Chain A
Amino acid sequence: MSKLNLDNQKIQEKMREVARNLLKEKKVDLIIGYSEGTVPLSSAPVFIRKEEEVDKLIWNNLCYVNLAKYLIPNIKENVDGKLVDLKVGIISKGCVARSIIHLMVEHQIKKENITIIGIKCNGIINRRKIEKEVGAEEIIETYLLDDNFIVKGKDFEKKFNYDEYMNELCKHCTIKSPPKSDSLKDIIVGESQESYSLEEKFEDVIEFEEKTPDERWNYMKELLQDCTRCYACREACPLCYCNLCFVDQNLPTWFGKTSEISDILIFHMVRALHLAGRCVECGACSSVCPMGIDLSIINRKINRIVKDRYDFTSGLSLEKLPPMMAFKMEDKQEFMLEED
């Protein structure tokens, strides 16, 4: 057994224990966590209400779903025709916790109803990349061995370097378990990260910015041309909780429904704009994309803009206002036209 595997197993056991205790002490009514997926290279969300079901919870390097997505629909329960607040415990790696914090900042969920069960995440395997490499072969088993992710099929076995086949966003991740702060002390149980660096380097974004406009345009066209606009990225995103999304509105229609490249780009551009100062870089959008499009470069760019201009990193504090909810008289305006 490798160290990574042992780590995961330890986390899994501890996580189950914490969840069991929370349910036993009736501190929570519901626990949202990960369970074994029905197809290889996947995991599924699970909703646990009874102590004996706790063993369904798993933790491995394929838990790509952002569980915060399931909070808003499950935070209330219909009891005799009345909506009652539920107490929810949620298994959280760093990015899930950050989405939860951001949802609290946006007043979508109440702090007193949530218990964050913090766990440490070493990075999620990029399953789309592995699916591409494996091709149509049937996968029977996957496990970690040393620094490699092993995929076993009927008559093949493939090794993938863990660091290389990690999600792009996980490679840059610095906040691996729920960020610790005074305002969150009472809602985090389990593991939490006390210190984290806010010095993001954004090497990949800077490298991309150095290309010429035409190169960038062509890259974006190539990256997004496969998009069928199934909106799986929107559905997986914990912060896309609008009841009526702009893509569903048809009075007026905001953009065409054709597969023409400008219709695709307009969706991705506005999706990115709506996530400005909100995206927590969990990578859920890329993981669920059926066409295997990696949206990380766009999400990271929008975070870089916000960081550079307004010095804000989403999902770290309950007090700081997100940049798009605030303004300052002295904001930079170097892009404005001025008389010579």
Chain B
Amino acid sequence: MNEVIIEEAQEKEWEPKIIAFLCNWCSYAGADLAGVSRIQYPPNIRIVRVPCSGRLNPFFLIRSLVDGWDGVLVSGCHPGDCHYISGNLVARRRFAILNDLLEFFGIEPGRVNFMWASAAEGERFAVLVRKATAIVKKLGPNKKFKKEW
């Protein structure tokens, strides 16, 4: 019986683990909407709720990669819709610079993904999570930046 389970597990495709930082006011509610509307999206993401995308220190995202997550997804309110008025606009500049710098260091583009999704966009949330998962799946496991010991 055990052997069968192990064999099955080996045959199973590798699935990435993605850490998703969702802002409390839009994207978290968007994910909730996707759930209650029974829209299917990949179970690869593990959600961390943050007060605002502006709460995210770029360090969190880099550290997630070092800790071994295969991908990072960040989602906040659409520009102009931030609950704290400008949190996501400040965050956007940080993300832009972080994204460019990670690429410069040789981290594959697509390891860290950014998106906007509002509380009413359950469908969009599901579509973008599907897209992000597909991108990370294509890149394969996170080997470069993962801390080995």
List A residues at the B interface (Cβ < 8 Å). Answer: 208-209, 213-220, 246, 254-256, 258, 260, 262-263, 265-266, 269-270, 272-273, 276, 301-302, 305-306, 309-310, 323-324, 327-329, 331-333, 335-340
Give the chain A neighbours of B98 by CB distance below 8 A.
273
* Minimum CB–CB distance for A326 against chain B, Å: 8
Let me know if B63 is at the binding interface, CB within 8 A: yes
| Known interface pairs A220-B106, A339-B128; A333-B63 also in contact (CB < 8 Å) | no
| Segment 105-119 of B: residues with Cβ below 8 Å from A | 105-108, 113-116
Interchain pairs with CB closer than 8 A, number: 112
Whether the Cβ atoms of A327 and B108 lie closer than 8 Å is no
Whether the pair B92, A262 counts as a contact (CB closer than 8 A) is no
Q: Nearest-CB distance from B111 to chain A (Å)?
A: 10
State which of B66, B94, B102, B124 has its C-beta within 8 Å of the C-beta of A255. B66
From residue A276, how far is it (CB to closest CB) to chain B in Å? 5
Interface of A, secondary structure class, is helix
Report how far A199 CA is from B115 CA in the complex, Å: 33
Most B-side CB within 10 Å, residue of A270, A301, A302: A270
* B interface residues, how many (CB within 8 angstroms): 42
Measured CA separation A256–B148 after assembly (Å): 12
Contact A331–B96 (Cβ < 8 Å): yes
Residue from A214, A272, A323, A331 within 8 A of B101 (CB atoms): A272
Question: Are A218 and B106 interface neighbours, CB within 8 A?
Answer: yes
Given A216-B105, A217-B105, are A260 and B97 also a contact pair (CB < 8 Å)?
Answer: no
Compute how far the CA of A338 lies from the CA of B45 in the bound complex, rounded to whole angstroms: 18
Measured CB to CB, the nearest residue on chain B to A305 is B100
A338 and B116 CA atoms in complex are apart in Å by 8
Give complex CA distance A312, B32 in Å.
40
Per-residue A-contact encoding for B81-99, CB less than 8 Å = 1, 0 else: 0000010011011111111
Given contacts A214-B106, A220-B105, A273-B97, contact A256 B147 (CB under 8 A): yes
B77 CB–A CB distance under 8 Å? no
A-B pairs, top 9 by smallest CB distance, nearest first, are: A217-B106, A216-B106, A327-B89, A337-B115, A213-B106, A262-B147, A305-B100, A262-B66, A335-B99
Given A214-B106, A266-B62, A305-B101, the answer on whether A336 and B89 have CB atoms closer than 8 Å is no
List the B side residues contacting A256 at CB < 8 Å.
147
A263 touches B89 (CB 8 A): no
In contact, B63 and A217 (Cβ under 8 angstroms): no
Cβ-based interface call for B35 (8 A)? no
B131 to chain A, nearest CB (A): 6
**Shortest Cβ distance from A61 into chain B, in angstroms?**
31
Question: How far, in angstroms, from A262 to B105 measured CA to CA in the complex?
Answer: 12
Give the Cβ gap from B29 to chain A, nearest Cβ, in Å. 18
Q: Is B140 engaged at the interface, CB distance under 8 Å to the other chain?
A: no
Check B132–A324 contact: CB distance below 8 A. no
Q: Across the interface, do B89 and A329 meet the contact criterion of CB distance under 8 Å? A: yes
Which of B98, B103, B116 has most chain A Cβ within 10 Å? B98
Q: Report yes or no: B106 in contact with A301, Cβ–Cβ below 8 A.
A: no
* B49-91 with Cβ < 8 A to chain A: 58-59, 62-63, 66, 79-80, 86, 89-90
Considering the complex, give the chain B residue whose CB is closest to the CB of A209.
B104
A327 touches B90 (CB 8 A): yes
Contact of A273 among B58, B89, B107, B108 (CB under 8 A): B58
Which residue of chain B lies nearest to A214 when distances are taken between CB atoms in the complex?
B106
